[in-house]
Structure 1
Amino acid sequence: MYSINNLLDIFTDVANNPKKQLNKYLSENKKAIGCFPYYVPEELVQATGMVPFGIWGCRGTINAAKEYFASFYCTIAQMSLEMGLKGTLDGLSGVIATSLCDTLRPFTQNFRVAVPQLPFMFLAHPQNRREEYGIKYTISQYTNIKAKLEEISGVEITDERLKEAIDIYNKSRSERRRFVKLAGKHPEAITAVQRSAVLKSAHFMLKEEHTILLKELNDQLESFPVSNWKGVKVVTSGIVADNPRLLEIFQEHNIAIAADDVAHESRGFRIDVPYDEDPMRALALHFANQDMDVLLYDPEINKRPSHIVNMVKESNAEGVIILMMQFCDPEEIEFPSLKKGLEEANIPYIMIGVDQQMTDFGQARTSLQAFADLLAMRS
């Protein structure tokens, strides 16, 4: 049995050293498949015995990728291509990329051309995902990916293997949801940086391995007495919120994350794959059931503002920090309605622009300090 500090050190090491973790799996004669955002059916990779390995860009400077993208493209796409061009992704046996936004579409084609040494699997999700025709289309797309993964791995993805993979992932999702709630209740034990590391490490570990360690951490947190937190609590929203230097500013001003609406974090494990006798259909239904994401078509009036308002209330948070990815059109288009919803609910919020090349946090520090003071005065 590990101590909490030992467990957090393990998660932090994996989160900060994904290449080291990849090399560990390669040394065990495992193959790994890179999974770009969003909503890649990683269970198909798991069912082959290969390792699903998350790729959400990285912190650094964009150089080679500038030849393929205009400067106003989201840095997640640019840094992900940069990783391929620089050889950071060497060792993977292939990659899967989706096309749910106007940046991911050209990214997929640029990556295919610029990094020809990596077998490329293109996944086109339908926006009309809930109707039966949408479900059938999703199944057809997943079937194409399934065939390519079988070719790369030499392993047939049987229904039994896929059902087992779905079970492993559902257990992981459940334990991560449990962690998010416990971390929100015990900010004295789990800092913003540590919370991020625990969730980020799941993208680089086999889920069964991550779940064992996370359950141990959760069980220990569960036994803690009620927290006497003296700071403030917020809900975070955005695509990624994994920059330690930014999160350290949260800690400096006693800002705890009570819950999140972050794509890289809770949005990815908000719901489980439902049971269906046909596991391929179950995976398609899982995508069909996804909701409350700026990249997903919503035929109804935008429900996300009320969704985030409810998150604030349910988590006993006092405000919202929106980490706006620079040049993300869907998030920028949504912001006015989100702003209106929070103001109507009398919930304080702050918007901070972020990208993966960010090195100067002076302005963010000033803004977060002022926001923390405001929340403290209101509480």
Structure 2
Amino acid sequence: MSIEVLLNQFKEASDHPYRRIKAYKEQGKKVIGVLPYYAPEELVYAAGMVPMGIWGSNSKTIAQAKEYCATFYCTIAQLALEMLLDGTLDDLDGLITPTICDTLRPMSQNFRVAMEGKLPCIFLAHPQHRKPAFGLQFCVDQYTHVKNELEKISGAPITDEALRNAIKVYNRSRAARREFAKLAGQHPDVISAVNRSAVFRSSWFMLKDEHTDLLERLNAELSKLPACNWKGKKVVTSGIICDNPKLLQIFDDNKIAIVADDVAHESRPCLVDAAETGDPMMALAQQFADQDYDVLLYDEHSNQNRRGEFVVKLVKDSGAQGLVLFMQQFCDPEEMEYPYLKKALDGAGIPHIKLGVDQQMRDFGQASTAIQAFADVL
């Protein structure tokens, strides 16, 4: 199968997630909506159901959700609720609502109230102190609550054997996505910014084994290609999400390759695998505990600016010439962290640009001008 054909399959899934939902429902599967971030999708998979990522929308306008949301809530959360209210996600059988950021924490109750009597909403509170024994146990307890609620929806128990198998499926997926990120950075002449995003984005809308089967084929084809002599610029992207094709097309139009990313919607969830042996619930809790260098996670050593140093190393290791930070509007954690990230980048002599984005943006004229100017600086 050619690279073009494979990329078109990822694009189809990325552009039309609602078709994926309907297709799974027609197969007799139940579908569980999963909001960001770090929800244990393995539990949904082990229950024989389909985890469906909900990361807002680039095409919808916030209307009904205004009745439930403060205007300063980020558009990812508001548009997730909008789709639940306007019927777009009526085929879902349940919803997992993590509370890991300042918006999703209160927003979880908005989802519960808005969906009362319509859709089971499963509350998930991650521990702030995730590494000590008490944090791990709290995480196991929370995941057990999610497991119990999923069993009610599926009508069958989630066995340890099924969960270990799900962990293996997800570890394989994470490995394939890590490999793709590396290969895409080596072949920007073949993998455009738009196509790169579609590959990652589609992973939220497909069963992971189906997505991995396609991705491993794509990786195999990319690994056969000769080295690319890229004449354009190379950057690393950072932020919560940047999946708008119109915005990413600006990078392609200006010959700016994305050679690596520090994006919550893309590579961050792929960095840490879970143990495939032992207690599978503890393995998932430990996997969350092992996550690091994320603006959304508590860092007891934050005074050392470890995350800033991590991003600097990522830029240097990737061979990028600079960093583009997509700052989600009204995202307090990102806004508070920015001065420290800027300090680390400036100290390492790495040029960067900060672009304010949200999913209600329709005019990218200013962003285009800023990106073009940044390319000239590089």
Query: What does residue range 1-379 of structure 1 map to in structure 2 within 5 Å?
Result: 2-59=1-58, 60-116=60-116, 117-300=118-301, 301=303, 302-375=305-378
Matched residues in 2 for 1:277 and 1:164: separation? 12
Question: How many residues align structurally?
Answer: 374
TM-score for the superposition, normalised by structure 1: 0.98
Matched residues in 1 for 2:115 and 2:86: separation? 10
Work out whether residues 100 and 125 of structure 2, in 8 Å CA contact, stay in contact via their aligned partners in 1.
Answer: yes
Supply the AA of the counterpart residue of 1:166: I
Matched residues in 2 for 1:88 and 1:130: separation? 38
Matched residues in 2 for 1:90 and 1:236: separation? 34
Determine helix, strand or coil for the equivalent of 1:195. helix
Determine helix, strand or coil for the equivalent of 1:29. coil
User: Residue deviations 1:258-299, cap 9 Å, x none?
Assistant: 100000000111111124410000000011101111111000
Work out whether residues 164 and 276 of structure 2, in 8 Å CA contact, stay in contact via their aligned partners in 1.
Answer: no
TM-score for the superposition, normalised by structure 2: 0.98
Supply the AA of the counterpart residue of 1:298: D
Supply the AA of the counterpart residue of 1:35: V
Question: Shift of the alpha carbon at 1:320?
Answer: 0.1
Question: Shift of the alpha carbon at 1:244?
Answer: 0.2
User: Residue deviations 1:66-98, cap 9 Å, x none?
Assistant: 111121111111111111111111111100011
Matched residues in 1 for 2:276 and 2:18: separation? 35
Determine helix, strand or coil for the equivalent of 1:130. coil
Matched residues in 1 for 2:229 and 2:159: separation? 50
Matched residues in 1 for 2:374 and 2:275: separation? 40
Matched residues in 1 for 2:157 and 2:69: separation? 37
Identity of paired residues, percent?
58
Determine helix, strand or coil for the equivalent of 2:113. helix
Determine helix, strand or coil for the equivalent of 1:246. helix
Matched residues in 1 for 2:153 and 2:99: separation? 22
Matched residues in 1 for 2:156 and 2:169: separation? 18
Deviant stretches of 4+, over 2 Å: none
Supply the AA of the counterpart residue of 1:127: Q
Determine helix, strand or coil for the equivalent of 2:344. helix
Supply the AA of the counterpart residue of 1:48: A
Determine helix, strand or coil for the equivalent of 1:203. coil
Gaps of 5+ in 1: none
Supply the AA of the counterpart residue of 2:288: F
Supply the AA of the counterpart residue of 1:292: Y
Supply the AA of the counterpart residue of 2:258: I
Supply the AA of the counterpart residue of 1:5: E
Matched residues in 1 for 2:279 and 2:273: separation? 15
Instruction: Give the CA RMSD over aligned residues.
Output: 0.7
Matched residues in 1 for 2:162 and 2:345: separation? 45
